C-alpha cells in the first residue's frame, strides 16, 4: 500500500494565532496522534516569509523560535512529527527552479490568494518575483516529501491546485516521480478562515487582528472585549445579528456543549444563545465574557506547555536542527528521482557516458 505522508507549515512572520489553531494546528495534532500516517513533516517556511519581508530578515529570524514554541505547545511531538526549517533544505529551491518551467505567468496571475495578498501588501506596482512565484515553491515543499495530505486553511486551496497541476505536468512530461497531494480542510465551516478580531475576513499576522496562542489571560480579555460584533446592536433589547459577528464565529469554532454547564448554565447550547441574541435582550458583554472563559479553557493546556518549553530553548533549537537534517535527507532522495526523470543526472548515467564514448570511437 502506498504511504500516507503529511506536509504542512507556517510562515515565521509572527507568533501563531487562533486562526492557525483551528485552521490547521489542531488537525495536525489529531492526525499525528491517530497513528494513521507513515510520516509527518511540519515546516517553518522562513524562505517563503522572506519573499515579502526581504527588507526585514530580523523579523523572520526572531519568529522561528516563536513558531517552534507554538508547535510544541499545541502538542506537536518531535518523536512523531519532523519539525524543520525550510531554508536548511536547499533541495527545495532546486525543485522550485525546475518546476517554474512548468508554470506560466498567466497561471500565477490567476491565483486568487496571491492576488488578494498583493493588494493587502500594496505590492501592485512592484511585486517581488519571489513573492509572485511562491505557489511554485510551495509545490516544491509538498512534493519533496511526497506528501499525500496537506492539512491547511481555505486560503491554501489555490496553492494545492497549483501543486497538483505541476505534479501532473511533471509526471506527463518526464515520467512518474511525483505524488499528487490532497488538501485537508477543517470540517467546521467557522474554522476554514477564522476572521480577525476587527471583523476582517481573515485573522492574519500581517493584519494585526490576531489573538495569539501565547497571549496571556489579560491580553485575551482586552482583545475579546474590544472585538467586532454587530454594529447595529446598540441597545441590549435590540435584535442582533450573529452572521459576521466575530463573537459568534469564534464560539462556532471553539465552543463545546459541556461549556454551558460549566460557565453559562442558563443555556444548553450555542443555538439557544444565538436565538436569544437574534430576538434581542442579550447583550454583547455577556456573550464576550462567555467567549473569554471558553478561550481560556481551550488555551490553558497550550499555555502550560509553552511555559515549560520556554525554559528549554536550547532543546527547541536542537529539535529543529535534527528535524531539518532528517527533512533534508528525504528531499535529497526526491531531488535525485526528479533529476533522473528529467535526464539531468549525467554523471550517474553510465549508459549515457558509454554511448557518447562509442559515438566518437573510430
Ligand atoms: P501571514 O499574514 O504572514 O501570511 P498568516 O496569518 O496568513 O500569516 P500563514 O503562515 O500564511 O499565516 O498560514 C499558515 C497556515 O494557517 C495555513 O495553513 C493557513 O491556511 C492557516 N491559516 C492562517 N490564518 C488562518 C485563519 N484566519 N483561519 C484559518 N486558517 C488560517
Ligand atoms: Mg498567509
* pLDDT, tens digit (0-9, with 9 covering 90-100), for 197-245: 999 888 988 788 999 999 999 999 999 999 999 999 999 999 999 999 9
* pLDDT, tens digit (0-9, with 9 covering 90-100), for 71-113: 999 999 999 999 999 999 999 999 999 999 999 999 999 999 9
Under the banding of pLDDT at 50, 70 and 90, the label for residue 2 is confident
Output the pLDDT for position 205: 82
| 96 Cα: distance to centroid of ligand 1 (angstroms) | 22
pLDDT at residue 339 tops 80: yes
* pLDDT, tens digit (0-9, with 9 covering 90-100), for 13-51: 999 999 999 989 999 999 999 999 999 999 999 999 999
State which ligand 1 atom lies nearest to the alpha carbon of 11: 10
- Output the average pLDDT for the chain: 95
Ligand 1 site residues, Cβ closer than 6 angstroms: 10-11, 13, 19-20, 23-24, 152-153, 155-156, 193-194, 202-206
What residues are paired with 43 via a beta bridge? 9, 84
pLDDT at residue 134 tops 90: yes
Output the pLDDT for position 195: 94
What is the number of the ligand closest to the CA of 24?
Answer: 1
Segment 135-158 shows an average pLDDT of 96
Instruction: Count the alpha carbons within 13 Å of 314 in the hemisphere toward its beta carbon.
Output: 0
Cα 296 to Cα 299: distance, rounded to the nearest angstrom: 5
Among 138-147, 190-199, 266-275, which is the least confidently predicted range?
190-199
Q: How many angstroms separate the Cα of 341 from the Cα of each of 103, 155, 346, 350?
A: 18, 32, 11, 15
Amino acid at each position: 500500500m502506498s504511504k500516507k505522508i503529511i506536509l504542512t507549515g507556517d510562515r515565521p512572520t509572527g507568533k501563531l494565532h487562533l486562526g492557525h489553531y483551528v485552521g490547521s494546528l489542531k488537525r495536525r495534532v489529531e492526525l499525528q496522534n491517530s497513528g494513521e500516517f507513515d510520516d509527518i513533516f511540519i515546516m517553518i517556511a522562513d524562505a517563503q516569509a522572506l519573499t515579502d519581508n526581504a527588507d526585514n530578515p530580523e523579523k523572520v529570524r526572531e519568529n522561528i523560535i516563536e513558531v517552534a514554541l507554538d508547535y510544541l505547545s499545541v502538542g506537536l511531538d518531535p518523536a512523531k512529527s519532523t519539525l524543520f526549517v525550510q531554508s536548511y533544505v536547499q533541495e527545495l529551491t532546486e525543485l522550485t527552479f525546475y518546476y517554474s518551467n512548468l508554470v506560466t505567468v498567466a497561471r500565477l496571475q490567476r491565483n486568487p490568494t496571491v492576488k488578494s495578498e498583493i493588494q493587502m501588501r500594496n505590492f501592485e506596482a512592484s511585486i517581488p518575483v519571489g513573492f509572485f512565484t511562491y505557489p511554485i515553491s510551495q509545490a516544491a515543499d509538498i512534493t519533496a516529501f511526497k506528501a499525500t495530505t496537506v492539512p491547511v486553511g481555505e486560503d491554501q486551496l489555490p496553492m494545492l491546485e497549483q501543486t497538483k497541476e505541476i505534479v501532473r505536468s511533471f509526471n506527463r512530461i518526464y515520467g512518474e516521480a511525483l505524488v499528487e497531494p490532497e488538501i485537508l480542510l477543517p470540517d467546521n465551516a467557522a474554522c476554514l478562515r477564522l476572521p480577525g478580531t476587527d471583523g476582517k475576513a481573515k485573522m492574519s499576522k500581517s493584519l494585526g487582528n490576531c489573538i495569539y496562542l501565547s497571549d496571556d489571560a489579560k491580553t485575551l480579555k482586552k482583545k475579546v472585549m474590544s472585538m467586532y460584533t454587530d454594529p447595529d446592536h446598540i441597545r441590549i433589547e435590540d435584535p442582533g445579528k450573529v452572521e459576521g459577528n466575530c463573537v459568534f464565529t469564534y464560539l462556532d469554532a471553539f465552543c463545546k456543549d459541556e461549556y454551558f454547564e460549566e460557565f453559562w448554565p442558563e443555556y444548553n447550547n450555542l443555538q439557544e444563545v444565538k436565538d436569544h441574541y437574534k430576538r434581542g435582550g442579550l447583550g454583547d458583554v455577556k456573550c464576550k465574557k462567555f467567549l473569554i472563559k471558553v478561550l481560556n479553557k481551550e488555551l490553558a493546556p497550550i499555555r502550560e506547555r509553552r511555559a515549560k518549553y520556554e525554559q528549554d530553548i536550547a532543546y527547541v533549537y536542537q529539535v529543529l536542527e535534527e528535524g531539518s537534517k532528517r527533512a533534508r535527507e528525504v528531499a535529497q532522495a526526491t531531488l535525485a528521482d526528479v533529476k533522473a526523470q528529467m535526464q539531468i543526472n549525467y554523471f550517474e548515467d553510465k549508459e549515457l557516458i558509454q554511448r557518447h564514448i562509442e559515438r566518437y570511437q573510430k
